[in-house]
Amino acid sequence: MDAVESTPIVAVQKTSVAIILAVSASHLLNDLMQFLLPALYPLLKETYGLNYVQIGLLTLAQQMTASILQPAVGLYGDVKPKPYWLAISMVFALVGVTLLATANSFWLLVLAAMVGGVGSAIFHPEASRVARLASGGKLGFAQSLFQVGGNLGTSIGPLAAAYLILPRGQSSVGWFALVAIAALIILATVGRWYAAHMRAHSGRPVAKAARQLISRPRLIGAFAVIGALLLSKYVYISSITSYYSFFLIEKFDLTAQQAQLYLFLFLGAVAAGTFIGGPVGDRFGRLTVIWCSIVGALPFTLVLPHLDLTWTAVASVLVGLVLSSAFSAIVVYAQELIPGKVGMVAGFVFGFAFGIGAIGAAVLGALADHFGIISVFNLCAFLPFLGFLTVLLPKTDRPATLKVQPA
C-alpha cells in the first residue's frame, strides 16, 4: 500500500492545556445547545402532531446546514485565519436557542434548526484548529479532549430534557440563552489567545509540512473509505439520538422522561469512548483504533434490538463506548493525508459526519413511519459491517507524537 510520510518536525511549542480545556468547555456548551432540538422531539411530536418524517427533517435542517458550510469555513480559515469567528458562532447559537424557545409552527422549528446549524458550522472547524495549535504535538490527545467536551454536552442534553425541558415545556429552552452567552465569553478569550499567537509568530519561518506521498487516486479512495466509516458511525448514532427514546417507549412502555435517562447512559459512554480513542491512537496508531472501534461495535449493535430493558441499556453503553473511540483518530488520520489543510479537513470530516447523520435521520424517519421503529433498529444494527473497509486505507508510519512548529 501507499504510505504517507510523517517525519517529526522539531518541537518549539508546549501543549497549552488551558486553551484546549477552554475550547472543550465551549464545545460542551455548543453541543448541549445543539441537542436541545432532539431533546424536544417527544414533546414536539405530541404538541404539533409531527410524524417521524418531520422529526427527521428537523434533524436534516440542523445538520445539513452545518454539513454544507463547515468545509468552506475550514478552508477559508486555512487561508485567512479569523480568531474571533469562534465568538461569532455563539451569536448564531444564541439566536437559534431563542427561536427554538418561541417557535409555534413546524417551519419556525426548521428555521431555528438551521440558524443553530450555522453556528455549529462556524464553531467546529475553527475550534478544532485552535485545539491543534495548542496541542504541542499531542494531536490525538488534543483532538480527543476537544471532542469529548462536545460529547459531554450532548450526553447532558437528555438530563436537561428529563428534568427541565419536558416538565416545563418548550419555552424553558429560553434559559439556555445564558449558556450561549457563557460560551461567547469563553470563546472571546480564546480568540484573544489565537490572535496573540498569530501576532507572536507572524514573520517566523513556518515548519515544512509532512510531504504527501500518496497519489491523487489513492487519496480519493482513502477519503471515500473515510466517508463510508463516518456513515456507519454517524447514521447509527443518529438513529440513537433521534429515535432511541421512541424505541424504548414503544418496546418497554417507558415514559418520555425515563427514556431520556437511558439515552443519557448511551451518550455518556460516547463521551468516554471519544476521550479514550485519541491518546490510544497517539500510542498505537490511528488505523488500529479505527479497526477496533467500528468493527468492535458490531456484536453489540446486532444483539441490542433483541434484549430486555436492562441488557439493552448495557449493550447501548458498550456500543457508545466502542463506536465513539474512532472519531478523533479519523480526524487526525485524515489531516495527515492532506498536510497543511487542517481546517478544510476538519470541516470536511465534521461536515460529512453531520450531513450523513442528518440524511440518515430523515431516511430512518421515513422507514419508521412505514415499518415501525423497532424494524429500523434491526436494520441499523448491520451498519458497523462497513468498518471492514478499513483494510483499504493506506498505512501511515507509526505515529510517534508529532512535533508542531508554530505558524
Model pLDDT for residues 141-151, shown as the tens digit of each residue: 887 888 888 87
In a domain, 403, yes or no: no
Provide the residue range defining the domain that includes 25. 3-396
- Cα distance between residue 265 and residue 282, in whole Å: 27
Question: What pLDDT was estimated at residue 403?
Answer: 45
In a domain, 54, yes or no: yes
| pLDDT tens figures, 217-258 | 888 898 899 989 988 988 898 888 888 888 999 999 998 888
Question: What pLDDT was estimated at residue 312?
Answer: 94
Question: What pLDDT was estimated at residue 9?
Answer: 35
In a domain, 81, yes or no: yes
In a domain, 401, yes or no: no
In a domain, 407, yes or no: no
Q: Residue 22 has what DSSP assignment? A: H
pLDDT at 170 over 80: yes
How many structural domains are present in the chain?
A: 1
Question: What pLDDT was estimated at residue 211?
Answer: 54
Question: What pLDDT was estimated at residue 90?
Answer: 93
Averaged pLDDT for residues 378-385: 92
| pLDDT tens figures, 290-342 | 888 889 999 999 999 999 999 999 999 999 999 888 877 888 888 788 877 77
Question: What pLDDT was estimated at residue 407?
Answer: 40
- Cα distance between residue 281 and residue 293, in whole Å: 11
Q: Which residue has the higher pLDDT, 94 or 145?
A: 94
In a domain, 288, yes or no: yes
C-alpha distances (whole Å) from 336 to each of 8, 56, 222, 230, 287 are 12, 34, 12, 17, 12
pTM above 0.75, yes or no: no
| pLDDT tens figures, 96-141 | 999 999 998 899 999 999 999 899 888 988 888 888 888 877 777 8
- Cα distance between residue 217 and residue 214, in whole Å: 8
Q: Are 31 and 89 in contact (CB under 8 A)?
A: no
Question: What pLDDT was estimated at residue 96?
Answer: 92
| pLDDT tens figures, 283-296 | 778 888 888 888 99
CATH number at residue 184: 1.20.1250.20
- Cα distance between residue 381 and residue 333, in whole Å: 26
Question: What pLDDT was estimated at residue 100?
Answer: 92
Which of 163-172, 209-218, 297-306 has the highest average model confidence (pLDDT)?
A: 297-306
Averaged pLDDT for residues 180-209: 79
In a domain, 405, yes or no: no
Averaged pLDDT for residues 13-33: 85
* Percent of the chain surpassing pLDDT 90: 25
Sign of CA dihedral 336, 349, 219, 207: negative
206: exposed, middle or buried (Cβ count in 10 Å: 0-12, 13-18, 19+): exposed
pLDDT at 406 over 70: no
Q: Which residue has the higher pLDDT, 388 or 46?
A: 388
Local confidence band at 213 (pLDDT 50, 70, 90 cut-offs): low
Averaged pLDDT for residues 67-90: 81
pLDDT at 177 over 60: yes
- How big is the CA angle at 399 (ends 393 and 403), to the nearest 5 degrees? 130
pLDDT at 89 over 70: yes
Question: What pLDDT was estimated at residue 201?
Answer: 66
Q: Are 345 and 334 in contact (CB under 8 A)?
A: yes
Averaged pLDDT for residues 347-358: 77
In a domain, 406, yes or no: no
For the record, the C-alpha cell of 350 comes out as: 465534521
Local confidence band at 77 (pLDDT 50, 70, 90 cut-offs): confident
Question: What pLDDT was estimated at residue 277?
Answer: 77
